[in-house]
Structure 1
Amino acid sequence: MIPPAPSVAPARWAFPAMVTGSACLAFGPLLVRLADVGPMASAFWRMALAAPLLLILARVVGGKGSVALPGPGSLWLAGLAGFAFAGDLAVWHLGIMRTTLANSTLLANAATFLLPLYGLVALRQRLGRPQALALGVAAAGMALLLGRSAELSPQHLAGDLLCLAAALFYTIYLVAIEKVRGVVAALPALALATFAGAVCLAPLAMFFDSSPAGGGASAFWPQDWTPVLGLAIGSQVIGQGLIVYAVRHLPPLVIGLSLLVQPAISAGVGAIRFGEVPGPWELAGAALVVVALVIARLPDRA
C-alpha cells in the first residue's frame, strides 16, 4: 500500500502552493501554440514525459514503498482522475488552436464557479459572507477580463465551447484527485493520474496527429522538444504537483478562485509575446481577481 498523506500536514503552505501552481499553468496555452506537434500530441507528450519524472520524485521523496500500487478503490479514482484530465487536455488543446489566447484561458477556468457549486450541492458546504463576497468580486473581475480581452464571435465559437468543456473535465479531475489524496500522498497520486492520462491520450494522439505536418515532419514526434518539455515539467510536474498537494487542504471555493491567477498572468504573457497590451479595464479585472483571493482567505466571523 502507498502510505497515506500525513494527517497533520503543513496546510499553511497549501494556499501559496495553489497560487504558484496555477501561475505555472498560465504558460500552458503559449507552449501549446509554440509546439511543432498537433494539439493531441502535445497533450500526450505533456503526460508521457511527466509520468516517469513524477515516479522518480515520488520514490526520492517517499522512499521505496511510495511507488507501490494502492488499493482498488484508490486506483479506480486515480484512473478516473487521469481520464478526466486527459479529456481536459484533449478538448482544451483543440480549443487553444481555434480561439484567442485570452478566451482559451478564461473559459477553461470556469471551474472557478463549478467547484464552489460542487461544494454547495455535493458537500453541503455553506458560503460565509467573505466567501460569497469573494465569489462575486471574482465574477466581476472575470467579466472585465472577458469583456475587453476576449473576443466573442462566431469565428471562435467552436474553440470557446471546447474550452468550456475542458473546464467541466478539469472540475471532475480536481474532485477525483482530492479523493485520492485522502489516502495517497501528493506525488504518487499525481504520478498515477498522469500515467492513466497518458494511456488515454496515446491513441488519440496517434490517430489525430500522426499524419505529416508542414515540411514533411510528423505532427506526432517533436522536432523541437523545448515546448513539450516545458509542458511536462512546468505545467504537469511543478504546476499540477503543487495543485495536487494543495487540494487536500483547501475548500473548493479557494481552489476555484486560485485558478483565476491564470488569466491574469496570461494577460501579461499576451502583452509580452503578442503585443496584446492590457488596458485599464483588463488591469482592473486582474486587480479584482487578486482582491477576491484575499477576501476568500478571510475568516468568517458570523
Structure 2
Amino acid sequence: MTKATERGGGFALLALILANIALAFGPLFVRMADTGPVSAGFWRLTLALPVLVLIAMQRREPLSGYGRGIWWMLALGGFAFALDLASWNFGIERTKLANSTLFGNMGSIILVLYGFVISRAWPHKAELGAVILAIVGAGLLMGSSYELDVRNLVGDLFCLAAGVLYVVYLLSIRHVRNELGSWSVLVWSTVFGIGPLLLIALLLGEPVWPTDWTAVLLLAVVCQLFGQGLMVYAVSHFSPVVLGIVLLSQPVIAAIIGWVVFNEVLSLADWIGMIAIGVALVLVRLPEARRAARLAGSPQAS
C-alpha cells in the first residue's frame, strides 16, 4: 500500500464515491443539451477551464516546468478523456440507456484485472468476493433492460470504447498524480481535451453553440469541476482494483436517477443488484483497512 493510500482514509473514499455520483449525471445533462452530444463535451471542458486555472493558481500548484515524461502523460490523459467523452456521448444517442451504461462500465472490469496483474498477487478473499458481487450486482441492475440488437450495435461499440478510454485516462492521471497537485493535473488534462472534442464535433457536423446554456453549465460544474475534481484527487489514493469496483457504482446511481427523474420502476432484481454493489464497496476496502491497522500498530508508525 502506498503512502497516498495510507493518508487517504475515509475522506478519499468519500471523494471517490461523490465523484462517481456527480459523473453519473453526465448522460442526463448530455440529453438535456440542445447542442450535439460531442459539442456538449466540448463545452463541459471549455466552461470549466477558467475556474480550474483560478483554483490551481489560488492553491499555488505549478502549471509549468514539468519534465517531458509528465507532459506526455498529461497529453495522453487529456486526449484519452476527450475520446472517452466523444465516444460515450456519441454512443448514448445510438443505443438504449441500459446498454450504454453496461458497455460504458466494462472498463471497470479491465481496471480490476489490471490491478491484479500489476500487483502480481492473487486477490484476497474479500477482494475476490467484492469483484464477483459487483459484477453480479451490475448484471442484475442492467440485465432486465439490456437489449442485444443489431440496431444498437454502433452505439454499443462506441460506449464500450468509451469505457476502455476512461481506463487509459484514469491510469494516466494516476501516474502523474503523486508528483503534481490534483488541480494542475485537471487543468492540463482539460486543456489537452478541448481541441480534439471541438474538431470531432465539427467533423460530425453537430450544432456547437447552445441556445440554452443550462445543460452545458451543469456538465461543466457538476461533472467536470466537482466530479472530475474529486476523481483526480482520489485516484492516487487507491489501487486500480478499488477504483474499478467503485466505478461499478455508477449503474446504481443511474438507476436511482431514472427512478427519481423519470419515475422508472425498480424491480426486486434492481434492488438486489444495488445492495450487492454496496456490499462489494465495503468488502473491497477490508484488506487495505486491515493493512492500515497493522501499520498503525507497528513500532515504525509511532
- Normalised TM-score (structure 1): 0.90
State the partner residue of 2:23. 25
Shift of 1:8: 9.1
Does the aligned pair in 1 maintain the 2:4–2:236 contact within 8 Å?
no
Shift of 1:208: 1.7
Shift of 1:28: 0.4
Following the alignment from structure 2 to structure 1, what is the Cα–Cα distance between the partners of residues 172 and 31? 29
Following the alignment from structure 1 to structure 2, what is the Cα–Cα distance between the partners of residues 147 and 297? 27
* Aligned pairs (5 A) from 1:171-250: 171-210=167-206, 219-250=207-238
Does the aligned pair in 1 maintain the 2:5–2:236 contact within 8 Å?
no
Is 1:149 matched with 2:172? no
Shift of 1:69: 4.2
State the partner residue of 1:103. 99
State the partner residue of 1:11. 8
Following the alignment from structure 2 to structure 1, what is the Cα–Cα distance between the partners of residues 95 and 244? 23
Structure-2 change in CA distance of 1:55 and 1:284 (3 Å) = same
Does the aligned pair in 1 maintain the 2:112–2:245 contact within 8 Å?
no
Shift of 1:286: 1.1
Q: Which letter maps to 1:48? A: T
For residues 47-101 of structure 1, what are the alpha-carbon distances to aligned partners after superposition, in whole Å with 9 as ceiling and x for unaligned?
Answer: 11112211111111x22x5333422211110000001101101110011101122
Following the alignment from structure 1 to structure 2, what is the Cα–Cα distance between the partners of residues 127 and 26? 28
* Aligned pairs (5 A) from 1:1-302: 10-12=7-9, 13-60=11-58, 62-63=59-60, 66-210=62-206, 219-299=207-287
Q: Which letter maps to 1:199? A: G
Q: Which letter maps to 1:184? A: L
Question: Aligned Cα RMSD in Å?
Answer: 1.9
Q: Which letter maps to 1:131? A: E
Following the alignment from structure 1 to structure 2, what is the Cα–Cα distance between the partners of residues 285 and 141? 4
Following the alignment from structure 1 to structure 2, what is the Cα–Cα distance between the partners of residues 228 and 9? 37
Q: Which letter maps to 1:57? A: I
For residues 113-166 of structure 1, what are the alpha-carbon distances to aligned partners after superposition, in whole Å with 9 as ceiling and x for unaligned?
Answer: 111211223453541111111001111101111211323322222211111110
Following the alignment from structure 2 to structure 1, what is the Cα–Cα distance between the partners of residues 6 and 215? 34
Does the aligned pair in 2 maintain the 1:29–1:105 contact within 8 Å?
no
Of 188-197 and 103-112, the range deviating more from structure 2: 103-112
Does the aligned pair in 2 maintain the 1:102–1:267 contact within 8 Å?
no
State the partner residue of 1:215. none
Following the alignment from structure 2 to structure 1, what is the Cα–Cα distance between the partners of residues 174 and 143? 33
Structure 2 runs not aligned, ≥5 long: 292-302
For residues 236-282 of structure 1, what are the alpha-carbon distances to aligned partners after superposition, in whole Å with 9 as ceiling and x for unaligned?
Answer: 11101111111111011111111122110111211233332111111
Name the SS for the 1:99 alignment partner: coil
For residues 212-257 of structure 1, what are the alpha-carbon distances to aligned partners after superposition, in whole Å with 9 as ceiling and x for unaligned?
Answer: xxxxxxx110011111111111111110111111111101111111
Name the SS for the 1:70 alignment partner: coil
Shift of 1:7: 6.5
Structure-2 change in CA distance of 1:198 and 1:9 (3 Å) = farther
Does the aligned pair in 1 maintain the 2:22–2:227 contact within 8 Å?
yes
